Amino acid sequence: MKLIDLGFDSWFVSQIDQVVNQADQSIARVSAVDRGSFMIRDEHREIPAELSGKFYFDVQSSVEMPCVGDWVTVQYHNADDLAIIHGVFPRRTELHRKRAGEAVDYQMIAANVDTAFIIQSCHFDFNLARLNRYLIMTAEGHVDAIIILTKTDLVTSAELEEQLSAIRSAGITNRVIALSNADGSGFDEFKQALKPGLTYCLLGSSGVGKTTLINRLMGREAYLTKEVSETGEGTHSTSRRQLIMLENGVMFIDTPGMREVGLLNTNDGVKDGFEDIINLAGSCRFGDCKHIHESGCAVLAAVKSGELSQDRFASFLKLRKESEHNELSYLEKRRKDKSFGRFIKTVKKNLKR
Cα(267)–Cα(139) distance, integer angstroms: 10
pLDDT confidence tier of residue 255, bands split at 50, 70 and 90: confident
How confident is the model over 67-96, as a mean pLDDT?
Answer: 92
More confident residue, 346 or 188: 188
Cα(95)–Cα(110) distance, integer angstroms: 5
Residues 6+ apart with CB under 8 A from 181: 150, 151, 187, 209, 212, 213, 216
Cα(325)–Cα(241) distance, integer angstroms: 28
Cα(183)–Cα(150) distance, integer angstroms: 11
More confident residue, 294 or 82: 82
CA distances in angstroms from 308 to 52, 175, 275, 300, 323, listed in the order given: 53, 21, 12, 9, 22
How confident is the model over 279-300, as a mean pLDDT?
Answer: 85
List pLDDT tens digits, range 174-219: 999 999 988 889 999 999 999 999 999 998 887 777 888 888 888 7
Q: Which of 350, 257, 341, 333 is nearest to 103 (CA)?
A: 333
Residues 6+ apart with CB under 8 A from 74: 25, 26, 27, 28, 40, 42, 49, 83, 84, 85, 86
Residues 6+ apart with CB under 8 A from 155: 122, 123, 163
Domains of the chain: 3-88 (2.40.50.140), 94-254 (3.40.50.300), 267-348 (1.10.40.50)
Q: Which of 223, 191, 226 is nearest to 207 (CA)?
A: 226
pLDDT at 220 over 70: no
Say which amino acid occupies 71.
W
How confident is the model over 298-304, as a mean pLDDT?
Answer: 88
- Mean pLDDT, all residues of the chain: 81
pLDDT at 264 over 50: no
pLDDT at 284 over 60: yes
pLDDT confidence tier of residue 227, bands split at 50, 70 and 90: very low
Residues 6+ apart with CB under 8 A from 51: 38, 65, 66, 84, 85
pTM of the model: 0.73
Residues 6+ apart with CB under 8 A from 311: 170
More confident residue, 288 or 72: 72
CA distances in angstroms from 353 to 31, 332, 339, 343, 350, listed in the order given: 46, 32, 22, 16, 5
Q: For residues 199 and 160, is the Cβ–Cβ distance under 8 A?
A: no
Of 150-159, 173-182, 255-264, 276-285, the poorest mean pLDDT is in: 255-264
Of 124-138, 202-216, 300-314, 328-342, the poorest mean pLDDT is in: 328-342
**240 three-state secondary structure:** coil
More confident residue, 229 or 42: 42
Q: Which residues of 253-290 are buried (b: 16+ CB within 10 A; e: fewer)?
A: bbbebbeebbbbbbeebbbbbbebbeebbeebeeeebe
Residue % of the chain over a pLDDT of 70 = 78
